[in-house]
């Protein structure tokens, strides 16, 4: 059995798809491709299977002659930051917003950079070789790697985020943090308290199984209630590895990644810090973001779904801000990956600096009603090759004209076709979505078997 990289690393069911044997081979493969010049760093979120997968990866890394620095439970952006500071490769064990049964591995090249397609393909090739043949010429004796616990990793990350604000404070603001029982549970409260905010914390008692369970960025119900009940200025909900955040305004309204990018883009432009006068987002961005930026003469650079594509565009065009509707936001002057905690602090920084509430700030962007449905079919690849389906999609796009948008794509993380429609009204969006879902099912040979 082998694995392939999706839009954000490798994921699967722990101990079924992500077996210890396969994780050991993945560790070996990573060293063969990325080298052992610097010790690999390895962090994880709070999932029950994290320590098992970590042990297997460390075994593989050391078996190929790499030393390993064990960081413990940390957010993905903390691992990327420490890799950048130490100019080291790194691995993060997490399945992000998935439930606890799943796990995954995100691999960073030296310096905390996301892997290129070429490097991913090389690791996949090495993994296939290792799982289908015996290991040859393995290091022995003093050439075998060793692992060591990295002392103070969490403190280093906390200091980095706090120092990013150059002395600016969040005094006078009250915030509720939903840590999703994930990797943010220790550092997020410490960071916001250090910045001067009054902090209330929920879902910060991980037990290995409650990560993302009715909490965090994928379920903000409890956070919305907590913000309203406490009279807080805002709420921030992190996913399992804290590389994304969803904000809640003072009335309990959800502020997603598109709205946060709009807020930050306008703020950066006013400060003269929006390099290139452009923002990077994905094809899933709400049409309202494009309209908002156009009104301010800011270009929206559109890329495929996945934060690594956002990062590539930021680097290629030397831009300052990019992200995704899901809450992956990247401030390239401060970080080399999405950071939910840093993003949340930046949003509150704008609230305090402008003396505007989060509800007022998010009003700069008027969201178009958006319907997103995942359609499981028998033959995914047949959908985009079907002429009748493509004709239906073109007809829908003609009907919407400039007043909406339809997007159909194959998921990079799940065996489904994603159908997304934006229109002036919810009713219209739902009607058009129904048309496209029916066309997808016809083209894909009907619903996939659930047996």
Closest of 437, 316, 431 to residue 377, by C-alpha: 437
Alpha helices in 257-372 (DSSP H): 257-271, 287-295, 307-317, 340-354, 358-362
231 contacts 340 by C-beta, under 8 angstroms: no
Q: What residues contact residue 445 under an 8 Å CB cut-off, 6+ apart? A: 377, 378, 379, 382
- Rounded CA separation 384/378 (Å): 13
Handedness of CA 83, 191, 254, 212 (dihedral sign): positive
Q: Among this protein's residues, is 133 annotated catalytic?
A: no
Closest of 107, 111, 104, 134 to residue 120, by C-alpha: 107
- Rounded CA separation 260/190 (Å): 23
Q: 29, 96, 326, 362: which is the annotated catalytic residue?
A: 96
DSSP string, 92-118: EE--TTS-TTEEEEEEEETTTEEPPHH
- Rounded CA separation 328/196 (Å): 24
Q: Are strands 234-238 and 254-255 parallel, antiparallel or unpaired?
A: unpaired
Q: Are strands 299-303 and 278-282 parallel, antiparallel or unpaired?
A: parallel
352 contacts 263 by C-beta, under 8 angstroms: no
Q: Which residues pair with 147 in a beta bridge?
A: 68
Torsion of CA 194, 196, 200, 206, to 10 degrees: -10
367 contacts 258 by C-beta, under 8 angstroms: yes
- Rounded CA separation 206/3 (Å): 28
Q: Which residues are catalytic?
A: 96
């Amino acid at each position: 059995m082998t694995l392939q990289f999706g839009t954000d690393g490798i994921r699967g069911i722990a101990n079924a798809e992500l077996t210890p044997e396969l994780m050991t081979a993945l560790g070996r493969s990573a060293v063969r491709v990325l080298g052992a010049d610097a010790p690999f760093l390895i962090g994880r979120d709070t999932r029950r299977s994290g320590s098992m997968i970590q042990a297997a990866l460390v075994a593989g890394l050391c078996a190929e002659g790499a030393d390993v620095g064990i960081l413990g439970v940390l957010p993905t952006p903390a691992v990327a930051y420490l890799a950048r500071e130490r100019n080291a490769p790194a691995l993060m064990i997490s399945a992000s917003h998935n439930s606890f049964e799943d796990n995954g591995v995100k691999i960073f090249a030296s310096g905390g950079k996301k892997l290129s397609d070429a490097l991913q393909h090389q690791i996949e090739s090495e993994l296939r070789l290792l799982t289908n043949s015996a290991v040859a010429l393995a290091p022995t004796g003093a050439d075998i790697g060793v692992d060591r616990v990295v002392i103070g990793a969490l403190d280093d990350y906390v200091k980095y985020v706090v120092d990013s604000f150059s002395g600016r404070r969040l005094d006078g603001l009250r915030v509720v943090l939903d840590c999703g029982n994930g990797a943010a549970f220790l550092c997020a409260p410490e960071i916001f308290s250090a910045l001067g905010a009054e902090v209330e914390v929920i879902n910060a008692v991980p037990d290995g199984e409650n990560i993302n369970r009715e909490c965090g960025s994928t379920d903000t119900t409890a956070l919305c209630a907590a913000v309203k009940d406490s009279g807080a200025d805002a709420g921030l909900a992190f996913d399992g590895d804290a590389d994304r955040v969803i904000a809640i305004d003072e009335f309990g309204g959800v502020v997603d990644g598109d709205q946060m990018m709009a807020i930050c883009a306008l703020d950066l432009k006013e400060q003269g810090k929006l390099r290139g006068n452009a923002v990077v987002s994905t094809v899933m961005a709400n049409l309202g973001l494009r309209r908002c930026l156009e009104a301010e003469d800011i270009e929206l650079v559109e890329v495929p779904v996945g934060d690594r594509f956002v990062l590539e565009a930021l680097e290629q065009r030397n831009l300052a801000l990019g992200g995704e509707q899901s809450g992956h936001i990247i401030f390239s002057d401060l970080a080399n990956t999405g950071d939910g905690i840093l993003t949340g602090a930046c949003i509150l920084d704008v609230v305090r600096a402008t003396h505007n509430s989060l509800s007022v700030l998010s009003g700069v962007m008027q969201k178009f009603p958006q319907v997103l449905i995942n359609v499981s079919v028998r033959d995914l690849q047949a959908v985009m090759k079907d002429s009748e389906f493509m004709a239906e999609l073109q007809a829908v796009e003609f009907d919407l004209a400039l007043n909406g948008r339809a997007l159909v794509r194959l998921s990079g993380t799940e065996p489904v076709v994603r159908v997304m429609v934006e229109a002036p009204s919810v009713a219209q969006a739902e009607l058009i979505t129904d048309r496209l879902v029916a066309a997808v099912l016809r083209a894909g040979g009907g619903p996939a078997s659930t047996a």
